[in-house]
Amino acid sequence: MADTQLKIAPIGEGLSLKARAYEALKAAIMNMNIYADEAELRLDERDLSQRFGVSRTPLREALAQLDQEGLVRIVARRGIFIVRKTKAEILDMITVWAALESMAARLATEQASAEEMAGLHSLVDRFSQDEIARKMGEYSDANIKFHQAIVGLGKCPLIVEMTNGLFFHMRAIRQRTIFEQDRAKRSIVDHKEIVGALEARDTERAERLVREHTLRLRDHVDRFVELD
């Protein structure tokens, strides 16, 4: 299996301009704090096409895709606007997330190997409670990684894809760190319980714990996060 084959270097990026524009725009929107008051929520096709150095055509296709995904809204002859999710929409996304991840947990108890479970276990252990206070910043990422890991163990590509979309939209909110804050402590406990249920192959319990955990986050956001 040694590389007797000649591996040609990837000359171009290999991606279409549309795809590159899409990724660039997505990244740009993600790295922008769209909830800041002074945020410029309006985009201009011609301006962007100049800055990217491509024509409007591939750019428009990329924007159309972002529009369909709900990141921007294109209004004919008015402009293209970066979408600020309403609180209700955020809550709905968390609800769907709960539904999908709990189903993934259910599947994981039937599909995942012992090794995969072990990997999950270590992911939780790495963040023992006392570390949290110091690593609060990192926690949010680790938290998402944990949930994505569970989703992955469900072995259902569609669920993975859909939750990735949801997580992306959430990242915009993450700026408002209130999101987890003093929920971190509780989360760790929840996560340990969840891993326990998964490893015990307790389907019903794993599903229930995951659902309740995420729905609790939903209630938390509902009560303490102010958007709109």
Q: Which residues bind a second copy (CB under 8 A)?
A: 16, 57, 60-61, 64-65, 68, 76, 89, 92-93, 95-96, 98-100, 102-103, 107, 156-159, 162
| Cβ(129)–Cβ(122) below 8 Å | no
CB burial class (10 A; 0-12, 13-18, 19+) of residue 5? Answer: exposed
Beta strand segments in 50-179, E = 72-75, 79-82
Q: How far is CA 130 from the centre of its chain?
A: 26
Instruction: Candidates 29, 61, 167, 176: give the one binding DNA (CB under 7 A).
Output: 61
Task: Report, in Å, the least distance between residue 156 CB and a second copy.
Answer: 5
Contacts of 188 (CB under 8 A, 6+ apart): 124, 127, 128, 129, 132
Encode burial over 93-123: b for 16+ CB neighbours within 10 A, e otherwise. Answer: bbeebbebbbbbbbbbbeebeeebbeebeeb
| Cβ(210)–Cβ(166) below 8 Å | no
By CB under 7 A, residue 50 contacts DNA: no
Task: Report, in Å, the least distance between residue 46 CB and DNA.
Answer: 6
Task: Report, in Å, the least distance between residue 130 CB and a second copy.
Answer: 35
56 touches which of DNA, a second copy, none (CB within 5 to 8 A by kind)? DNA
Task: Report, in Å, the least distance between residue 203 CB and a second copy.
Answer: 11
Instruction: Candidates 24, 34, 56, 119: give the one binding DNA (CB under 7 A).
Output: 56
Q: Which stretch binds DNA (CB under 7 A): 12-20, 114-122, 161-169, 206-214?
A: 12-20
Task: Report, in Å, the least distance between residue 48 CB and DNA.
Answer: 8
User: How far is residue 170 from each of residues 74, 84, 86, 165, 187, measured CA to CA in Å?
Assistant: 21, 11, 12, 9, 17
Instruction: Candidates 8, 76, 114, 158: give the one binding DNA (CB under 7 A).
Output: 76
Nearer to a second copy, 72 or 98 (CB): 98
Q: Which residues sit at the interface with DNA, rule CB under 7 A?
A: 16-18, 43-46, 54-58, 60-61, 74-80
